[in-house]
């Protein structure tokens, strides 16, 4: 497999009223074409920051993002992003929400062809019957599927997923994980996914990157997931290696938690009021 993504020494310094906050400092990661890498780490460590710099949506303070051997400076249709909330335009139908991106990526296609592209991807995520519904007529899980269809319809080389299933109930979450696996089986896309769910990370990933706590977060450890693909949940759950991997992830997070408690910053980095500052979002349930 060839190397497709190279994140070289990424640095992010946010300017705050109390001075510069070095959030990410020297984040290095190479990803092969078609590889699925999850990023896991405590809330506020800088996962979204790394993902957004990779997407080109956030300016870097240092380092390089290299995609297919070319350094990229900004966003592009080669890298599609799905966030926790799909942010659909409420005045547009499901179809037209997907069409927005398709219009940009296929400007020379006929209206009929663009319609077919949207239809194809909405069918893939199981929304063939809801194409003409408005976002407020869709459940949270259905809206998230539109977000995934919208990203896929751009025919990206890379998918960047920031807790894409974080707001969904566990059954819908499992359903969408399986849909994602099927899509990635058919379309070899290099995928980076931020998640708080260790089980989701093990089920979907080829490798899991564990980030150290901020400030100055970087790659702490990388866990290779040895299970062959395609995978089934039951096979994984029966494999004793699953419990070892899970144990390693949880103990890394616990070690980071201890370090965080020992760490007494000179200048406190402000967090938004709604951001938890403990490990409460890390899901431990199987
Ligand atoms: N625009 C900004 N200005 C200042 N600080 C910021 C800004 N955006 C993020 N931060 C800080 O950078 C740190 C990392 O934020 P980021 O959103 O990347 O964390 P995260 O790992 O994705 O967290 P979560 O798991 O809660 O989503 C946090 O401490 C956050 O408060
Ligand atoms: Mg985040």
pLDDT digits (tens, 9 = 90+) for 52-73: 999 999 999 999 999 999 999 9
Q: How far is the CA of 237 from the centre of ligand 2 (A)?
A: 28
pLDDT digits (tens, 9 = 90+) for 236-261: 999 999 999 999 999 999 999 888 77
Residue-range domain boundaries for the chain: 1-72+196-286
Burial of 275 (0-12, 13-18, 19+ CB in 10 A): exposed
| pLDDT confidence of residue 283 | 53
pLDDT digits (tens, 9 = 90+) for 133-189: 999 999 999 999 999 999 999 989 999 999 999 988 999 899 999 999 988 988 889
pTM (two decimals): 0.90
Q: Are 82 and 162 in contact (CB under 8 A)?
A: yes
Compute φ and ψ for 162, nearest 5 degrees. Answer: -105, 100
Q: How far is the CA of 128 from the centre of ligand 2 (A)?
A: 31
Which residue has the CA at smallest separation from atom 24 of ligand 1? 43
| pLDDT confidence of residue 209 | 98
d(CA 20, CA 2): 37
DSSP secondary structure code for residue 68 in this structure: T
- The pocket around ligand 1, CB under 6 angstroms, is made up of 14, 16, 21, 23, 41, 43-49, 214, 269, 271-272, 275
Ligand nearest to the CA of 23: 1
d(CA 57, CA 77): 12
pLDDT digits (tens, 9 = 90+) for 100-113: 999 999 999 999 99
CATH of domain 1-72+196-286: 3.40.50.300
Name the pLDDT band for 285 (thresholds 50, 70, 90).
very low
Ligand nearest to the CA of 283: 1
% of the chain with per-residue pLDDT over 90? 79
Q: How far is the CA of 108 from the centre of ligand 2 (A)?
A: 36
| pLDDT confidence of residue 40 | 98
Q: Report which ligand 1 atom has the smallest distance to the Cα of 269.
A: 29
280-284 long-range contacts (CB < 8 A, ≥24 apart) are 280/43, 281/43, 281/196, 282/40, 282/42, 282/196, 282/198, 282/250, 282/253, 283/196, 283/197, 283/198, 283/199, 283/200, 284/198, 284/250
Which residue has the CA at smallest separation from atom 17 of ligand 1? 48
| pLDDT confidence of residue 280 | 45
């Amino acid at each position: 497999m060839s190397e497709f993504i190279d994140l070289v020494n990424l640095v992010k310094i946010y300017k705050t009223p109390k001075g510069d906050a070095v959030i990410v400092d020297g984040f290095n990661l190479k990803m092969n074409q078609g590889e699925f890498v999850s990023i896991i780490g405590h809330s506020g460590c800088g996962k979204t920051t790394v993902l957004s710099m990779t997407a080109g949506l956030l300016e870097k303070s240092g380092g390089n993002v290299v995609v297919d051997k070319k350094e990229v400076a900004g966003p592009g249709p080669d890298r599609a992003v799905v966030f926790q909330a799909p942010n659909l335009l409420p005045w547009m139908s499901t179809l037209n929400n997907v069409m927005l991106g398709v219009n940009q990526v296929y400007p020379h296609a006929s209206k009929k062809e663009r319609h077919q592209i949207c239809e194809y991807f909405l069918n893939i995520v199981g929304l063939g019957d809801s194409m003409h519904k408005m976002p407020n007529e869709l459940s949270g899980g259905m809206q998230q599927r539109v977000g995934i269809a919208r990203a896929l319809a751009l025919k990206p080389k890379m998918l960047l997923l920031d807790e894409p299933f974080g707001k969904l109930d566990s059954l819908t979450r499992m359903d969408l994980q399986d849909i994602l696996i099927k899509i990635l089986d058919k379309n070899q896309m290099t995928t980076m996914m931020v998640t708080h769910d260790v089980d989701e990370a093990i089920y979907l990933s080829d490798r899991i990157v564990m980030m150290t706590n901020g400030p100055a977060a970087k790659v702490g450890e990388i866990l290779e997931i040895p299970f062959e693909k395609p995978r089934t949940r039951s096979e994984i759950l029966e494999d004793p290696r699953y419990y070892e991997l899970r144990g390693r992830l949880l103990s890394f997070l616990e070690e980071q938690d201890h370090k965080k408690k020992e760490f007494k910053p000179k200048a406190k980095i402000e967090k938004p009021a709604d951001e938890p500052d403990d490990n409460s979002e890390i899901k431990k349930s199987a």
